[in-house]
Amino acid sequence: MRTLKAIVKIDGDKQISEIDSRIYGSLLEHMGRAIYTGIYQPDHELSDEDGFRTDVIDAVRKLKVPIIRYPGGNFLSGYNWEDGIGPKEKRPKRLDLAWRSIETNQFGIHEFMKWSKKVGSSPDMGVNLGTRGMDAARNLVEYCNFPAGTYWSDLRIKNGAKNPFNIKTWSLGNEMDGDWQIGHKTADEYGRLAHETAKVMKLVDPTIELIASGSSLRTMKTFGSWEETVLDHTYDDVEYLSLHQYYGNEKNDLENFLSRSVDLDEFIQDIISVADSVKARKHSKKTINLSFDEWNVWYHSNNKDAKAEPWRIGPDLLEDHYNFEDALLVGSMMMTLLRHADRVKIACLAQLVNVIAPIMTNSDGQPSVWYQSIFYPFMQLSNYGRGTVIDTVMDVPAYSTEDINVVPYVDSVSVVNSETNQLVIFVENKSKETIEFKSKIENLKLSSVVLATEFAGYGLKQTNENQEMRIKFQTRNQLNGDDFNAELKPLSWNMFCIKLV
């Protein structure tokens, strides 16, 4: 087997940005088994006094997810938040038109806030701009964030939360550019509504940050023009613009599938260009950052979901069982987001539990919780990729696909973690060949390799129901002064932690 070479230059003086920890966020939507029999199952033997599954809490803590978008997703656009507060026996059952399910509302805002605290996360709370609008939104902010002495704040206290929730991050609707969305709007319609909604929300609480709804996919016909029009209306009102993107491998073409991280990079660059053009046209000093608050691989469950029986409680929807090649793309997509850490401040792997998720549960039987293949690269990035992203210049072999001219066989990003005083190099080999990875590191004094791991050696279509997948120690590496070299196995995800002097 031939060996390819990849040469990487890492310069400690060339910093891209400090990483906002919210880039390791996720999404919990009222759909499928994400909530019911996912994080909330009062009759389960492992559930606590609040009905929260402790095995799931432990799994989420391992991912160190700092922010979770809630309650949707498409569900948001038909949701009445008032249905999920107050005594549970009085909460109404509703038809969820987004996913053609029955919503019991046994899990609502109070339950989510209590659960978030237990897993160490903060919320990105969505407001319904599909069937509702500014009045419901301002009332929700008052309910959650106003201390006391008004109708909604006193109702929160009556419902058991004396102290305000102080939710700081809010999303103005979901995927409003999509015709599948309940209450879909044109860019002008949404932009005007988002502007007026932002206005009243910030009158209630001026400290909150807002996310405007951007394109649902890069392939949308309105992509680009949607962002421009929406920002024309909301530029002075919001701090972030959202992006969503999912990829699949329906054609079973590995090289094309793994090239999707390059498409993701182009998507981000395009949106930055649009946002900055609006900034220039408005003569504004404010910069709009990005919230990539839905991203993942999603396609395995499509055929099954198309035949799903409607109007069930917590049906098994979007339960993709991820394989090893999916984990490689997820790792590469996350590295792409990190390379844009100067503008991508929030990102949400969609979703967190059971629904296109890294964590799966069994309602009964063993194992009660199991980790999908995508759990492992995301866990390493979230745990070790904290600090400052360092610019990386690569000279690596590449290939081309139908629609992408240059796809590097090696994908890499480097982070200086000031808390651990380490340089952390994440690197993925997308090739079916062994690669000699040679890195020249400048303006950083290296001491020793303290941790080297790899996720490799599995079949491309292998899934992890049997929990055989593991992060393993990587021994084929060497540090010589300012040079760090390693041998990367074919189709492998790798992480190297190097102690700094």
| Residue range 8-35, pLDDT digits in tens | 999 999 999 999 999 999 999 999 999 9
H/E run at residue 96: strand 94-96
pLDDT in tens, 105-148: 999 999 999 999 999 999 999 999 999 999 999 999 999 999 99
* Cβ-contact 268, 344 below 8 angstroms: yes
* Cβ-contact 209, 169 below 8 angstroms: yes
**106 beta partners:** none
Q: Helices in 282-424 by DSSP H: which ranges?
A: 302-306, 324-339, 375-384
* Cα–Cα dist 69/232, whole Å: 25
To 10 degrees, the CA torsion angle through 336, 340, 344, 347? 20
With H, G, I as helix, E, B as strand and everything else as coil, classify residue 268: helix
pLDDT at residue 366 above 90? no
**Closest by alpha carbon to 172, among 189, 159, 160, 157?**
189
**Closest by alpha carbon to 135, among 209, 69, 201?**
201
Question: Catalytic: which of 82, 103, 142, 294?
Answer: 294
* Cα–Cα dist 303/228, whole Å: 35
pLDDT > 70: percent of the chain: 100
* Cα–Cα dist 321/284, whole Å: 46
**479 beta partners:** 484
- Both tokens assigned to 470: 């593991």
* Cβ-contact 346, 337 below 8 angstroms: no
* Cα–Cα dist 163/274, whole Å: 40
Q: What is the sign, positive or negative, of the torsion defined by CA atoms of 272, 278, 280, 283?
A: negative
Question: Catalytic: which of 111, 175, 428, 454?
Answer: 175
175 catalytically annotated: yes
pLDDT in tens, 169-195: 999 999 999 999 999 999 999 999 999
* Cβ-contact 193, 201 below 8 angstroms: no
pTM: 0.95
Helices (H) and strands (E) in the chain, counts: 11, 24
* Cβ-contact 13, 444 below 8 angstroms: no
294 catalytically annotated: yes
Number of Cβ within 10 Å of residue 432's Cβ equals 12
DSSP for 202-250, please give it.
Answer: HHH-TT-EEEE---S-TT-TTTTHHHHHHHHHHTTT-SEEEEEEEE--T
Residue 2: what pLDDT? 65
Question: Residues 48-65: what's their mean pLDDT?
Answer: 97
AA identity, residue 131: T
Q: What is the mean pLDDT of the chain?
A: 96
Question: Residues 56-76: what's their mean pLDDT?
Answer: 97
CB within 8 A of 100, min separation 6: which ones? 308, 310, 311
Calculate the alpha carbon distances from 100 to 4, 78, 181, 431 in Å. 51, 11, 13, 42
Domains and CATH numbers, the chain: 3-13+389-500 (2.60.40.1180), 20-384 (3.20.20.80)
pLDDT at residue 81 above 90? yes
Max distance between CA atoms of the chain, in angstroms, equals 73
Question: Residues 428-435: what's their mean pLDDT?
Answer: 96
- Evaluate the omega torsion of the peptide bond into residue 351 and state whether it is cis, within 30 degrees of 0: yes
